[in-house]
Structure 1
């Protein structure tokens, strides 16, 4: 027997229903905020992620499914969604248009990590990317949208926010941070020592408990924010307070990707074990420019579908559609013709074997249909059918063309 690869799994039965419910709920809310659907390839040039996510990141350094294809191209399966959407935005020359653009997407991502609860090697994300709006009001709006999605799904959450500064205030902070980290480098882990020389901000994101203890007294970026970033961060907090969205300022929240600047945020849950982040994102005003596009402000997020599936409160299933069955073999052709027409407007389940009344009613229960429709010898001879509304318990015999 051939099984799924380690860290990859099938979505079937109740899980697939939950998956669809999450996608449909998130898509509906995203559309209300003006987002349109975009689809990008699963396979991209490796250079796309090296330039956007950053070569110093764990994703590029350790986790990508990267290989040389038959055309000698260096390619990889996408480890995250934002870079591909930005690449598509530039490829379509949308960065040259004055119109603000908003896209939502969903689909599989791939990272070669150690599988555990909430972390798979093939996982799915739903995300949104907003291009052309540099106002902190857009940061607030996108956080509000995520909160609405989780509220609609019945998921509790905690919001953490931070500001990562910009090209004006970040250099001075990095210089101070490197000086501070150098003093304790002998006590930091191997990854942190490597990051001091490549991307020192990522040290703050280390998951090693010893490192986190050592970083308690490290310089805080919020004390180095420039005249633009500081008012923006204060305004974001003010807007969240006014909306009644509770949050915590997490000075060590830097996200796992190199392209973020200014606002960064994560939605976390204590109900899913070690992998507590269920959604995250922020502003990436320079990424379009990094990928050879025209400078364009942008902000976005992604939520992990597998991470929230167990937390989703599914709506109670309502009976819907029709169950159609024949009580004589000769009635089956008429039943199929009727079902084909009715499927233009309704859900229809057809039982192809002729059965007795009690057997058909058991089938009705299994199908969760609202109406039971049966054709027996008398109905076939008279051009009628027997129908029962399972909610009102009303039974009738009507002409076939009346249905």
Structure 2
């Protein structure tokens, strides 16, 4: 028997319903905030992610599904969503238009890493990207959108925020950080030592608990913010306070992707074990330019759908639609044709085999429908249908003509 590949998973039955509910809920909120749907290819040029995510990142260095296709092109399965949306934004020359653009997306991402709860090799994200708005008010709005999505899904969370500064305040901080890291390098892991020379900011993002203890007294970027970044970050905290959204300033929060600057944030949950981040994002004002577009401020986020699956409180399933069945073989075709018409306006479950009354009612119960409609020998002779409302328990026999008129 052929099984799914390690780290890949089928999505069926109740899980599929839960997945669709999450996507539908998040999409509805995104539309209320003025976002339009975008879909980008799963397969992209590897160069896209090397230039955006960063060659020093674990994603590019260790985790990408990268290969040469039959045309000799260096391609990979997308490991995250933002870079593809930015590439599409530039490809459509939207960076040349003065109109601000907002997109939402959802779909599968791929990373070759050790599978664990909430983290598969094929996983799904829901994300939003906002282009053309430099104001910190947009950062605040993005955060409130995620909070609203989680509220509608019944998910509790803690919010962590930080500022990653900009090209003005970063150089001095990086110089002091590198000096500090060299003093403690013998206590840091192999990955951290490699990053000291390639991308020292990423050292702060190390998942090794021993490294995090050693890094406690390292310089904090938030203490080096420039005259633009510092008031922006303070304004963000003031807005969150006014909105009643609790947060923690985490000075070691740098996110795992190289393209972030200024605002960075993560939504975390203590209900899903070690992999506690359920959503994250921030501002990436220079990424469009990095990918050969016109300089465009941007901010966005992604929600890990698998991370929140078990946390979602599904609404009580409502009975809807019809169950239709025949009690004599001669009525089967009439039931099928009637169902075909009704499906223009309702969900309909059809039993193709003629059965007794009790068997049909069991079928209707399993289908979780509102109405059961049966055609037996008498109904067939009199051109009527037997109809029962399974909520009110009201039942009646009505003419087929009258039932079809309701369509």
* Same fold by TM-score greater than 0.5: yes
**Secondary structure at 1:160's aligned position in 2?**
strand
Distance 2:170 2:12 in 1: 47
Q: Where do 5+ consecutive residues of structure 1 fail to align? A: none
Q: Which residue of 2 aligns with 1:360?
A: 360
Q: Which residue of 1 aligns with 2:53?
A: 53
Q: Which residue of 2 aligns with 1:253?
A: 253
Q: Which residue of 2 aligns with 1:220?
A: 220
Q: Which residue of 2 aligns with 1:241?
A: 241
User: What are the equivalent positions in structure 2 for 1:140-179 lying under 5 Å apart?
Assistant: 140-179=140-179
Q: Which residue of 2 aligns with 1:79?
A: 79
Query: Which consecutive segments of 4 or more residues in structure 1 shift more than 2 A?
Result: none
**Secondary structure at 1:126's aligned position in 2?**
strand
Distance 1:133 1:45 in 2: 28
Does residue 292 in structure 1 map to residue 292 in structure 2? yes
Deviates more, 1:207-216 or 1:83-92: 207-216
Q: Which residue of 2 aligns with 1:283?
A: 283
Q: Which residue of 1 aligns with 2:320?
A: 320
Tell me the alpha carbon deviations over residues 190-219 of structure 1, each in whole angstroms, 9 at most, x when there is no partner: 101100001100000111111111111111
Q: Which residue of 2 aligns with 1:117?
A: 117
Does residue 67 in structure 1 map to residue 67 in structure 2? yes
Q: Which residue of 1 aligns with 2:351?
A: 351
Distance 2:324 2:184 in 1: 74
Q: What's the CA shift for 1:85?
A: 0.2
**Secondary structure at 2:292's aligned position in 1?**
coil
Q: Which residue of 2 aligns with 1:108?
A: 108
Q: Which residue of 2 aligns with 1:334?
A: 334
RMSD: 0.5
Does residue 42 in structure 1 map to residue 64 in structure 2? no
**Secondary structure at 1:22's aligned position in 2?**
helix
Q: Which residue of 2 aligns with 1:96?
A: 96
Distance 1:394 1:402 in 2: 17
**Secondary structure at 1:184's aligned position in 2?**
helix
Tell me the alpha carbon deviations over residues 267-325 of structure 1, each in whole angstroms, 9 at most, x when there is no partner: 00011111000000000000000000000000000000001001111111010000001
Q: What's the CA shift for 1:186?
A: 1.5
Q: Which residue of 1 aligns with 2:128?
A: 128
Distance 1:152 1:34 in 2: 18
Q: What's the CA shift for 1:372?
A: 0.6
Tell me the alpha carbon deviations over residues 62-117 of structure 1, each in whole angstroms, 9 at most, x when there is no partner: 00000011000000000000000000000000000000000000000000000111
Does residue 24 in structure 1 map to residue 14 in structure 2? no
Distance 1:121 1:19 in 2: 17
Q: What's the CA shift for 1:401?
A: 2.2
Distance 2:209 2:21 in 1: 37
Distance 2:111 2:356 in 1: 53
Distance 2:141 2:158 in 1: 17
Q: What's the CA shift for 1:393?
A: 1.0
Q: Which residue of 1 aligns with 2:273?
A: 273
Could you state the TM-score of these two structures normalised by the residue count of structure 2?
A: 0.98
Distance 1:95 1:247 in 2: 33
**Secondary structure at 2:262's aligned position in 1?**
strand
User: What are the equivalent positions in structure 2 for 1:191-230 lying under 5 Å apart?
Assistant: 191-230=191-230
Q: Where do 5+ consecutive residues of structure 2 fail to align? A: none
Q: What's the CA shift for 1:335?
A: 0.8
Q: What's the CA shift for 1:187?
A: 1.4
Q: Which residue of 2 aligns with 1:370?
A: 370
Does residue 5 in structure 1 map to residue 35 in structure 2? no
Distance 1:366 1:213 in 2: 55
**Secondary structure at 2:272's aligned position in 1?**
coil
**Secondary structure at 2:25's aligned position in 1?**
helix
**Secondary structure at 1:117's aligned position in 2?**
coil
Distance 1:402 1:177 in 2: 79
| Number of equivalenced pairs | 403
**Secondary structure at 2:16's aligned position in 1?**
helix
**Secondary structure at 1:239's aligned position in 2?**
helix
Q: What's the CA shift for 1:222?
A: 0.8
